Amino acid sequence: MSIEDIAVIGAGSYGTCLAMLFGNAGHRVSLYCRGAEQAAELETTRVNKTYLPAYRLPDTVFVTSNLEATVKGKRFVVGVTPSHGVREVFTGIASAIDPDAVVINAAKGLEDGTLKTMDAVYRDVLPERVANRATYLSGPTFASEIAAGMPAAIVLAGSDAKTCSLAQTALSSIRFRIYTTDDVLGVLIGGAIKNVIAIAAGLSDGLGLGSNARAALITRGLAEITRIGVAMGAQPATFSGLSGIGDLVLTCSGDASRNRRVGLALGQGKSMTDILADMKQVAEGVKTTKVAHELAQKLGTDAPLTKVMHSIIHEGAPARHAMAALMSRALRSERD
């Protein structure tokens, strides 16, 4: 395996665990941490006390608050900022990224206002050559398990097969298996809207509706994600893969899921204001619910789960009444 120079932008739980993963594999990693004091502390202590306090950064990871220096001259640039920050961050460093670098997006969301997927945002802000070769990482992975060295499989999407193969070979390891696909849209839609369904599944559990209801929400949620994705031009088979059903099941059922925890808190009677105030990390599904609802309306696509979650999260509808409305909808064929 060749040793690569990798930039990881974002020192939250997922950015930190990827830096650990790549560093432990022997790569040279620059980890960008916003805020000079926080970066200096992380560089000195080697422990991200806020997000992954049980794990140490390997010596192959260097932490900095200088964003331009983080990406300059790097072979791979991995973006792990929340989706609403992607445009601003990459606009600021577009000229500093090497023309031959491979950008790897790990943000899972849709851009508010424009309704754009992350590949469209990259095309807006990056040089054409860099944007055309950008790749998109998604799949069922919890940061704490990656940091602990537990095995995981994930998918990397890109329109340039040679670039995808290059990144797959360089960044895969015995504990981190990367598959590739050319269906960028399918991977991005699955990774974004599964967070909406995860809030719904958590809400169901918080209301005490049982395992049957959670299984139904996951299954119908997958159908809804697929409808939206296919309407945008994605390949249906993608939603049966790691970035579709794989990520959906994990996020809807795993206790480490931030979006599931939002739903649990809603079901237990907490307000969105209090839930968000208590969270240290971004739950992408909160913002994505609004954007996905608007996107489904624009596409003319039936998205009842997204509609109900939008009414609860952004319109203040009573959770139990809104969930009951799903069960009283007109009966139909499962394939609809």
Q: Please report whether residue 62 resides in a domain.
A: yes
| pLDDT for the residue numbered 145 | 97
Residue 269, domain extent: 190-327
Q: What is the CATH number of the domain that holds 213?
A: 1.10.1040.10
The answer on 207 and 177 residing in a single domain is no
CB 260 within 8 A of CB 196: no
| pLDDT for the residue numbered 324 | 85
The answer on 235 and 129 residing in a single domain is no
Q: At what angle do helices 258-267 and 284-299 cross, to 10 degrees?
A: 90
- Cα four-point dihedral sign 294, 183, 195, 39: negative
Rounded Cα–Cα distance for residues 144 and 87 (Å): 27
CB 171 within 8 A of CB 178: yes
Rounded Cα–Cα distance for residues 35 and 94 (Å): 20
The answer on 145 and 46 residing in a single domain is yes
Taking only the tens place, the pLDDT of each residue in 35-56 is: 999 999 999 999 999 999 999 9
- Cα-based distances in Å from 306 to 15, 145, 244, 289: 28, 29, 16, 6
Q: How confident is the model at residue 22 (pLDDT cuts 50, 70, 90)?
A: very high
| pLDDT for the residue numbered 66 | 97
Whether residue 194 lies in the annotated active site: yes
Q: Please report whether residue 335 resides in a domain.
A: no
Q: What is the CATH number of the domain that holds 78?
A: 3.40.50.720
Q: How confident is the model at residue 80 (pLDDT cuts 50, 70, 90)?
A: very high
- Work out how many domains the chain is built from and give that number: 2
DSSP state letter for 244: I
Q: Please report whether residue 332 resides in a domain.
A: no
CB 137 within 8 A of CB 224: no
Rounded Cα–Cα distance for residues 323 and 328 (Å): 9
The answer on 206 and 176 residing in a single domain is no
| pLDDT for the residue numbered 1 | 61
Q: Please report whether residue 278 resides in a domain.
A: yes
The answer on 283 and 205 residing in a single domain is yes
- Cβ neighbours for 132, distance < 8 A, ≥ 6 positions apart: 159, 160
Q: Please report whether residue 334 resides in a domain.
A: no
Rounded Cα–Cα distance for residues 286 and 87 (Å): 19
Q: Which of 108, 194, 287, 307 is catalytic?
A: 194
- Which of 166, 182, 198 is a domain's end point? 182
